Structure 1
Amino acid sequence: MTARWPDPNRTTIGRYLASLDLRSMKSQTCYRQVLYGFQDVVERHSKLSQDVLVAWLRVSAECWAATTLLHRTRIIDRFLDHLLETGAIDRNPVTVLREACNIKQCMPVWRVLASRDPEKALAELRRPQPFGSVLGGVMAEHVLLMRNRGYKYSSQSERLLRFDHFLQLNPALQDQPIGVMLEHWTAKKATRNHAVECENLRRILTKVFSHRDPSIPPRRPDPRPQKEVVKHWRKPHIYSPADVRRMLDIARSYPSPRAPLRPLSIYAMLLLAYCAGLRRGELARLNLGDVDLQSDTIRFGKPSSSKPGFCHCPIA
């Protein structure tokens, strides 16, 4: 850590707070209290590291509730990012831990640091590196090859990544043949969807190694896992006019003594969904401003030419 921060006069914190342009006096007081307390802890350590973060969490836990403390770690996150950008510190310890655990967010790091055993929690938080197994290089090369050929190859890449993570979590399989790896991967779950996942993975891996060695014979796909899944798909049900009328009658007579408007609300929602084809989210986002009593219409969606969901529905 450089000598620019922590500074004894705390001018760095003052300039940072001024740059935020906090209009509420309460927010200014909260930010200043959090950052001053963090600097007090930093000054008692030789370098800005994981130990500083844990020490600050322990001290702050005596003053704030756990939820409040985790919420105020965001102030520390933004301040550390500012210090790193301005060159006041050499590294951000939260970012270092986040990259070591291979996660994208900072909050899980703070949660494990606030636990009783941070080291054990950090070990459990760590995620395998993408394509870090014994087959990772081959699979990553294949994904890059297919994308260079113009294929999106997103779902296939996800299947390969899941298998790669499984191999990293089971190092005893690293020296086994690919058939043994796939047998253990298949035995991990007994669901029908996982059987389809394994069949698709076998097909992709056959393609991977056939690209590297054209002498490998093609593998005939097994359609049985997919057929088994299709058998258990839910069949669509088309409501008849009599079914819709029955639902509307039940909605209008729905017993709700504590909320007398609820039956009419349910009735209106079902009517709009049936007549205008509104989705559940569109129904939930409707408000009074969408109702035009002058033209007897209801507007839903965003008023943009690129948003086909924007249209008018007559009330009457």
Structure 2
Amino acid sequence: MNPWPDTDGRIIERYLGRLRLRSPTSPIYYRQTLRSFQEVVARRQCSPSEMSRDVLEAWLRERAAQWPETTLLHRARIVDRFLDFLVQEGMIVSNPVANLRAEYHAKSDKTILRALLASDADQALESIRRFPPFGSVLGNLMRDHIALMQARGYRYQTQARWFWRFDRFLQAHPELAREPVSVMLQHWAAARRTANHAAECERLARALSKAQHHLDPDTKPRRPDPRPAQQVARQWRRPHIYSPEDVRRLLDIARTYPSPRAPLRPLSLYTMLVLAYCAGLRLGEVARLNLADVDLVAGTITIRETKFFKSRILPLADSALSALREYLEARRQEKAPQSPDSGLFWHDQGNARYTSHAIAGCLVDILRWAGMKPAKGKAGPRIHDLRHSFVVNRILEWYRSGINPQDKLPFLATYLGHRDIHSTLVYITVTQELLQEASERFRTFGAPCLLASEEVQP
């Protein structure tokens, strides 16, 4: 195991050399932070096997007298990443932050660091302790059922989240451990009084019934109760259909999105919006795109293994291809990875692709800038409504071009990645313009029939 801390700062410089720090001042702050931490380690004369929480807390207390809490938290994360580097290089045995995260099943390293900054760190750590996954009395049953369903070829990710939430509830209420499963489900259903929770409880009960039936075939499966799902359907929010003017405003805001530390981000968001609207892509499909999926010569883009395990090759309009060409050129100038399997939408923070959550956060921010959503909350248009708008505006164009939309619905379903037109029909929202075009089409078709019937009357 290599010696650390060193006296000449050579290890810190080697670590900084691996980072892609864009700002010329960033290395100064990184170096200052890591040297101050290394000084504390050297004073305490810690061996690699003694790198513990006490060392980190000593540095935090020393720095708290000089830095504001927000600055200290930010720079503590710099130290945390440096400790991960030292573990990878074999210079220390383990990262105390990672150890605490595993011990308390914390959501992130940032949660642990914030707890260590509290006046009573032990109490703060206990307050963030999370239950281990599937540690309840039904944990083994649920874990085995998830593994069974996934081994059969199902993704079973949504159902796994239902089981995980129910498992956490059972661990928080150990008094239910000896109760029948039906009683456990009753208490879980009473934990929240929302329609969505009631529908999830019903689906969870059916999934648990299947798991018990697989374990014991003599157990009768639960009969489905459609009422909770019907209640959720009554609260369904009508999609917002973006007009061409709305889309243009969003694209203009994306072009000027403030991002001084990531110059490529505005063009990335612009191109994401173009694909979400012009090709009707889901956010997950946008996030999973690779460079190899774009074929500018053929004018197509390939969507691989998405919902319903379907892949498809989509032809793109000239405007979408033009936006892709501009983005790919800017991406190349930013020295982004050019391997075919690298993410199409790339950012230099960690040299990684954008996740669907990151994309959603940025695009929702654009909606707020455009004044279409309030500053907080879920009210107002959604990003997924762009997919609804793609369908409605496509049908409008067919009407205006004299094309019968009913003949084209199977093609539209294939373009959207649906199994059949029944899923596509959900996206057809009747707007005033669509109703006007449909009425005009019916008038043109039905008027001659009405005139003919009037002529044959005595």
The one-letter amino acid paired with 1:66 is E
Cα distance in 2 for partners of 1:44, 1:34 equals 16
Q: Offset at 1:44? A: 3.5
Q: Give 1:193's match in structure 2, choosing from 191, 196, 219.
A: 196
Q: Offset at 1:59? A: 0.9
| Matching residue of 1:272 | 245
User: In terms of mean alpha carbon deviation, does 17-26 or 167-176 score higher?
Assistant: 17-26
Change in CA separation of 1:234 and 1:81 when aligned onto 2, cut-off 3 Å: closer
What per-residue deviation string (whole Å, max 9, x for no partner) do you get for residues 73-119 of structure 1? 23212221221111111111111112223245321111111112211
SS at match of 1:197: helix
SS at match of 2:319: strand
Matched, 1:220 2:227: no
Cα distance in 1 for partners of 2:23, 2:198 equals 57
| Matching residue of 1:38 | 37
Q: Offset at 1:141? A: 0.5
Cα contact 1:301–1:309 (8 A) shared by 2: no
Q: Give 2:140's match in structure 1, choosing from 137, 152, 157.
A: 137
Residues 43-192 of structure 1 aligned to structure 2 (within 5 Å): 43-45=42-44, 46=46, 47-103=50-106, 105-192=108-195
* Higher relative contact order, chain-length normalized (CA < 8 Å, sep 6+): 2
The one-letter amino acid paired with 1:312 is S
Cα distance in 2 for partners of 1:144, 1:279 equals 46
Cα distance in 2 for partners of 1:212, 1:205 equals 11
Q: Give 2:319's match in structure 1, choosing from 309, 312, 315.
A: 312
Change in CA separation of 1:71 and 1:311 when aligned onto 2, cut-off 3 Å: farther
Cα distance in 2 for partners of 1:94, 1:220 equals 47
SS at match of 1:128: coil
Give TM-score, length-normalised by structure 1.
Answer: 0.74
The one-letter amino acid paired with 1:158 is R
User: In terms of mean alpha carbon deviation, does 162-171 or 17-26 score higher?
Assistant: 17-26
Cα contact 2:51–2:93 (8 A) shared by 1: no
Cα distance in 2 for partners of 1:17, 1:137 equals 45
Cα distance in 2 for partners of 1:186, 1:113 equals 36
The one-letter amino acid paired with 1:118 is A
Matched, 1:285 2:254: yes
Cα distance in 1 for partners of 2:176, 2:94 equals 37
Cα contact 1:22–1:28 (8 A) shared by 2: yes
Give TM-score, length-normalised by structure 2.
Answer: 0.53
SS at match of 2:162: helix
The one-letter amino acid paired with 1:301 is V
Cα distance in 2 for partners of 1:83, 1:50 equals 16
What per-residue deviation string (whole Å, max 9, x for no partner) do you get for residues 206-242 of structure 1? 101011111112221112222222233345688xxxx
**Structure 2, unaligned runs of 5 or more:** 257-269, 276-293, 302-313, 321-458
Cα contact 1:301–1:311 (8 A) shared by 2: no
What per-residue deviation string (whole Å, max 9, x for no partner) do you get for residues 14-35 of structure 1? 4434555868764343222211
SS at match of 2:192: coil
| Matching residue of 1:263 | none
Cα distance in 2 for partners of 1:279, 1:25 equals 36
Change in CA separation of 1:282 and 1:171 when aligned onto 2, cut-off 3 Å: farther
**Number of equivalences:** 269
Change in CA separation of 1:31 and 1:215 when aligned onto 2, cut-off 3 Å: same
Cα distance in 2 for partners of 1:119, 1:79 equals 24
The one-letter amino acid paired with 2:28 is T
Cα distance in 2 for partners of 1:236, 1:28 equals 47
Cα contact 1:301–1:310 (8 A) shared by 2: no
| Matching residue of 1:203 | 206
